[in-house]
Amino acid sequence: MDNVAGKFIMITGAARGIGLGLARTAAEKGANLILVDRDEEALETAKRACQEKTDDVKSVVMDITNVQEMRNSVDQVMMDTERIDVLINNAGIMQTKHFFEIEEKDWDRVLSVNLKGLFFLSQAVGKHMITRRQGSIIHVSSIASRFPRPLAMHYGASKAAVLSLTKSMAEFFGEYGVRVNAVCPGPMETEMLQAIGRDRASLFGGSAEKAILDYVGPIPLKRVGQPRDVAEAALFLASDHAAYITGQALNVCGGVQMV
């Protein structure tokens, strides 16, 4: 039996992309799910898909950048479930934009979702984990945290900051038996990758399809990753199999970065 079976797992950005892959995979492994997204319609579709695999699936429409709304939602979840064993901070946005064209609103939006929301949700859920002296928090960062991103500097900065938080939170939570780790996906077959292709085509010309091929060309495994690739790595870190692992960031990138 999988080590996440029976655990209550909260996943943000669960309506599509990597988040939906996380939700589907966790459902197959017998986890109890708390799916979070601000897109109510897409979230309900994701919920129905997961209910085909596991019985206990809750959906929470939440804007993680609205801190008070988010805290109220977490309190309600705790009243309903009494515990959250695993928090997977997956919600994130990406924007391809020239350095001199990034505006204040762009910076604020990317940092608000990718960093602020992640921090304050971890704070809200983490206090309950501390009480129980157990739990696992997984941040979905990005391979962009490891490399220069001249056409997405605000995105790269946000994801690098996520790794800093991972280390600091792991140190803080360690004495309470709560582990904090991260996964760093490379290019994945998601709507976000399609948006990157369109943005790069707009900047450099040519088709979005060619832009994506150029973008993923350096991958040694010569394929784009799938959301399930990230899900399996994240759920391993969330499981009891990883009981002595904390403060780590696992690349899931097809070998774009090697040890």
Length of the chain: 259
Helix axes 17-28, 40-51, angle to 10 degrees: 20
Cβ neighbours, 10 Å, residue 217:
8
**138 neighbors 7 (Cβ within 8 angstroms):** no
Residue 61 burial (C-beta neighbours within 10 Å; 0-12, 13-18, 19+): middle
**7 neighbors 83 (Cβ within 8 angstroms):** no
- Is 155 an annotated catalytic residue? yes
* 3-class secondary structure, 259: coil
**118 neighbors 162 (Cβ within 8 angstroms):** yes
| Choice among 155, 176, 215, 244 that is catalytic | 155
For every residue of 138-176, DSSP letters joined together read: EEE--GGGTS--TT-HHHHHHHHHHHHHHHHHHHHHGGG
Just list the catalytic residues.
155
